[in-house]
Structure 1
């Protein structure tokens, strides 16, 4: 009796069938990567182009923010969020006002940056080029080429946003990197990792662009009774 007759015909074709399925699976994976790659590149390029468009085209804006610090990244313990409002006009003029839970104010007239803490009754004054040069404020309120001050790195899209990581070229910037999530050519979220391992998340909302701002929006006078500390 022929030995092959002892084995069903379907069984004799098992090895070729397995090899064919494996080859087909590999082809599907490769095909899927080919389809996925353009969307990944698009998302990365989208984040870069959106951020640069925001810097180049939006000369003034107002909005609100919620700022949350992750006090312990390992455990996820969060401090009370801060809420407030902001305004800016390029180049370099901005007003960042925390309204709750404790009031604070940061104002730049383009030459100097003032930080006022009412609870401490203290104002800190710095030169704008020192305070803003390679800070997250430069990403939002500065002008020119971002690549001069930051190494820009593409990040995967998430939460419906296109993401970009900005790593300061200045090692004394005070933070490791900031991730910027963008949509519709506007920054929507910033996630900053500082030198102490603390993560700060800033959500921007109600952003209105091209607004006409009063001339005194970025003026600052030291309140009566407050101490002025000048940082050189």
Structure 2
């Protein structure tokens, strides 16, 4: 898997202890999906190895339009772009001048992108478990039903007002990623051009 693919599929993670169980986080997730057709937010991302040692820190801007269109722009430490147009997903590494193309189903199947930009049928791809309240956030864990998924679980933290603040993920290699959102804007007007990508001239294009 190339560096950009790793960034995309290793979005999110933190270690959490279950506490009181109730339906607040599940309700927040369903409300978020039902009421949020488009979204824009800045994010910071930390990737940890199996020993909780920081491998990489990055940041950028996340935008999506339901269903299945999204744009993740990594601005630091190096410029990368992930664009989902509803049919394909384009991974662009500016430093390497390399583009990797995957079909939507192959690229995001049971992934964080499926939760954020997918349709409302979450239970079809994920088993959802309430984790209770911690650090003034309501937590929910989503376990992919597809046994071939590259993720063990995804965890989502919502504020008491139902705003998505944190996503967390552990992958099948024991690496964990923490993604923190800020300045989340619900239902902004997003131009259609955001979700289209044309490989730059001279770039190395790879189709999986």
CA RMSD of aligned residues (A): 1.4
Q: Could you say which structure has the higher helix fraction?
A: 1
Q: In the alignment, what sits opposite 1:50?
A: 28
In structure 2, what is the Cα distance between the partners aligned to 1:159 and 1:224?
48
In structure 2, what is the Cα distance between the partners aligned to 1:165 and 1:72?
19
The gaps in structure 2 that reach 5 residues or longer are 1-18
The gaps in structure 1 that reach 5 residues or longer are 1-38
1:149-183 Cα distance to aligned partner (Å, 9 max, x none): 00111113112110011000011110100111112
- 1:87 matched to 2:67? The reply is no
Deviation, 1:228, is 1.0
Alignment partner of 2:20: what SS?
helix
Q: In the alignment, what sits opposite 1:138?
A: 114
Structure number with the bigger relative contact order (C-alpha 8 A, sep ≥ 6) is 2
Equivalent of residue 226 in structure 1, options 197, 203, 206: 203
1:179-216 Cα distance to aligned partner (Å, 9 max, x none): 11112222210110000101100001100011001121
Equivalent of residue 208 in structure 1, options 182, 185, 190: 185
Deviation, 1:100, is 0.2
Equivalent of residue 40 in structure 1, options 10, 13, 20: 20
Asked if 2 retains the 8 angstrom alpha-carbon contact of 1:164 and 1:181, the reply is yes
Asked if 2 retains the 8 angstrom alpha-carbon contact of 1:72 and 1:78, the reply is no
Aligned residues: 189
Give 1 or 2 for the bigger CA radius of gyration: 1
Give the TM-score taking structure 2 as reference length.
Answer: 0.87
Deviation, 1:133, is 2.2
Alignment partner of 1:81: what SS?
strand
Q: In the alignment, what sits opposite 2:74?
A: 98
Moved >4 Å (runs of 4+): none
Q: In the alignment, what sits opposite 1:127?
A: 103
In structure 2, what is the Cα distance between the partners aligned to 1:215 and 1:179?
30
Alignment partner of 1:50: what SS?
helix
